[in-house]
Every structure is written in structure tokens, then in C-alpha cells.
A and B are shown apart, each in its own frame.
Chain A
Amino acid sequence: EDQVTQSPEALRLQEGESSSLNCSYTVSGLRGLFWYRQDPGKGPEFLFTLYSAGEEKEKERLKATLTKKESFLHITAPKPEDSATYLCAVPPFEVIFGKGTRLHILP
């Protein structure tokens, strides 16, 4: 059965304190791994798509990487506005979302 597991469930960091979020997956025939950001009460907003092991993508303070079993979202020197829930997802025919990591950046 296809699965997506995110860790940690919640993370509190001081402003400027870099860290990584993990998304591990078991999918037969990966057709892309997606990262989204979700603010409270709003729809998820697309960040990155990764298709093959070794691929990396960056956007401002965020960098996503992919291996054959997991993906990491690295956050470098975060700011309070980076506080959100970060979701990863994989699309076979049904899209499976992880439960997310709630990130809180303290000023």
C-alpha cells in the first residue's frame, strides 16, 4: 500500500535556526513528489515538484531534495513568515498527502 509519512509532526525553531523536515514514502512507481505550504484556514500552495533521486530545487530559504525513499525540505535561516504547515504528496492515480509538519518560527 502506498504511504507517505512526515516527521516531525511539529517543530519550533528560533528565527535564523536552520533545520530539515522529512517526508518518507513507499510508492510503487514514483511519478513525482510534491511539497506544499499551507497557512491556517487556507488551501495548500505549491512549492516544489521532484521527479528523480538526486534532484534538488530551491526557492528563497527553502530547498527540497529527493532520494529513493525520502525527501527533505531544508529551511535555512527561517523567518517568522515561514511559519506554516508543510505537506508532501505523491500522485499515483489517487494523490496521497502526508499529515504535514507544523512549523513555528519564533522571532
Chain B
Amino acid sequence: EAQVTQNPRYLITVTGKKLTVTCSQNMNHEYMSWYRQDPGLGLRQIYYSMNVEVTDKGDVPEGYKVSRKEKRNFPLILESPSPNQTSLYFCASSWREEGEQFFGPGTRLTVL
């Protein structure tokens, strides 16, 4: 089954404790992206990747890092999480930047 998976689905952590949210797709897509979704602000893009080893900042990259060492994986790293990073995070992939995106199920992160 074609899908985008994210782990964990739910995470409660404390300020400053490094964490990684994994994202994996099995569709051989070149384009992958991370979004955060907050009430009243909608979906905002954090980082995107056009292909392996090619990443670029989206609208709200501060406090986040990503890597794209393999085509299927695109982890989101929070080196020192803060409460303002409490949000619902989505990973997405598509076969090209202008293509329809397939979204993962979301990761609900709470930073205390």
C-alpha cells in the first residue's frame, strides 16, 4: 500500500530535550516536505526537499533541522524544543514539486 508513515504519532516532551520525528514514504517520490499546523494559522511549510541531499527552508524553519540521506526518509529534528513548537506536524511527499502531495497521519507534539 502506498503510504507516508510518521513516528511517533504522539509525543510529550520537555523544553530542551532533543527529539526526532521520522517520516518515510514507499512511493519513490523525489519531493518531501514538513508542515506544522496550528489553529488560526493553517498549514505552514517548515522545510522541503527536492531530492536526496537537497533541502531548503520553507516558511517557518527556525528551530528545526532536516536531513535527506535516502530518498524514502526525511526526518525532522528539533535540537532544543521550546513550548512554541507545540503543534501538529505533517510530513508529505509527491513525485515532483508541482505534484499532488500525499500526507502522513500527523504527529502531535507537546513541549512542556
Contact = CB atoms under 8 A, between A and B. Distances in A.
A and B bound?
Answer: yes
Interface of A: 31-32, 34, 36, 41-46, 49, 87, 89, 91, 93-100
11 contacts: A31-B98, A34-B100, A42-B105, A43-B90, A44-B90, A44-B101, A87-B43, A91-B97, A93-B48, A93-B97, A97-B45
B24 interface: no
Decide if the interface of chain B is mainly helix, strand, loop or mixed: strand
B106 A98 contact: no
B92 interface: yes
B103 A97 contact: no
A95 B33 contact: yes
The interface size bin for chain B is 20 to 34
B103 A45 contact: yes
Given A32-B98, A44-B43, A87-B43, A95 B48 contact: yes
Given A36-B101, A46-B102, A95-B45, 5 more contacts: A31-B98, A42-B105, A43-B106, A94-B56, A96-B45
Interface string B86-97: 001010100001
B52 to A, nearest CB: 17
